[in-house]
Amino acid sequence: MATLLNIIFIITLFYAAISGRMFALINLLMIQGLLLFGVALIELREMNLINLIVILVETLVFKAILVPYFLKRTIRQNNIKREVEPFISGVNSLVIVSVLIILSFVLTFSLQQNFHKVIYFTVAFSAILTGLFLMVSRKKIITHIIGYVILENGIVLLSFSVGNEMPMIVNAGILLDILVSVLLFGFFLSKIRYISKKFEISSLSKLKD
């Protein structure tokens, strides 16, 4: 069951590479949040109950509801154009993401961990690399935030696979930090309209020597 969820997670990464519409990307984040919720439900059953409930609720509320909602609101408020506008076209992106997934397989096996959850490792690394790839290959700043959220989803998946040795307070703090950082990104993104209406990364090039 967890393997199935992981495979669906990989498929969302492919979809993220070719998707041309901003809202489709954000809906994808919502699906990933739900998948993470499912994985947590299956993987962390043996944890003590309060800890488990906190993590489950936080994953569901933060990852599947609050972050996507907030990103959509930011797009609407700032009248950001709804196309993704990549530097690299959809098909090429698809090829690159496939290569990244193969790379993460290679990385996982070269770590030679006799670790029973190889698939988690691979999927998490693929998500991290895909998030980074979305950041460098898209013009708009909002896509960078989406890339960051995908990367964070990968990290959360990795942390679930560890079997979670961190105490509750630490987990709660980590998830809260991630949420606050996305909120701050949104806040400062709306400030960028004073520099440029296009919200592209190329407009942030004033500071240099």
Q: Smaller CB distance to other proteins: residue 59 or 171? A: 171
- Residue among 56 and 172 whose Cβ is closer to other proteins: 172
* Residues facing 10 on adjacent strands: none
Q: Binders of other proteins among 123-182, rule CB under 8 A?
A: 128, 141, 144, 148, 151-152, 155, 158-159, 162-163, 165-167, 169-171, 173-174, 177, 180-181
Could you say whether residue 55 binds other proteins (CB under 8 A)? no
> What residues between 98 and 127 interact with other proteins by CB under 8 A?
110-113, 115
Nearer to other proteins, 92 or 181 (CB): 181
Binding site for other proteins (CB under 8 A): 110-113, 115, 128, 141, 144, 148, 151-152, 155, 158-159, 162-163, 165-167, 169-171, 173-174, 177, 180-181, 184-185, 188-189, 191-192, 194-195, 204, 206-207, 209
